[in-house]
Amino acid sequence: MRLIYHPDAETELIEAAKYYENCVVMLGVQFLDEANRAVAIILEAPGRWRIIEDGVRSYLMPRFPYAIYYRDYSDRLHILAFKHHSRHPDYWRYRISK
């Protein structure tokens, strides 16, 4: 299965890692490691997590206050957002593609 990141989701991931790295040395690296583990878990069983709307599912990262919003297609997994829990719930919705 192909893995595709929405460009804005990729930016969110990088910005969050930079933020954590500025807070504590190596925390940004740990955040990226956790994000990679989370995506690997999603890829193993993409239909496992709940649908929040229009076929978009969310996976809550266990260590950091982020949810990964993604859409599962038959041939690819499209990561739409790495959403911090304090962000407005609707900010990413324009990224949904059918």
pLDDT of residue 43: 97
Q: For 2-87, CATH number?
A: 3.30.2310.20
- Per-residue pLDDT, 1: 87
Instruction: Specify the pLDDT at position 89.
Output: 84
Residue numbers of the chain with a pLDDT score lower than 70:
97-98
Which pLDDT value is given to residue 88? Answer: 87
DSSP per-residue codes, 36-96 = HHHHHHHHH-GGGSPEEETTEEEEE-SSSSEEEEEEE-SSEEEEEEEEETTS-TTTTGGG-
pLDDT of residue 92: 86
pLDDT of residue 44: 96
pLDDT reported for residue 24:
97
Residue indicated by tokens 């690296």: 29
Question: What is the residue type of 74?
Answer: S
pTM above 0.75, yes or no: yes
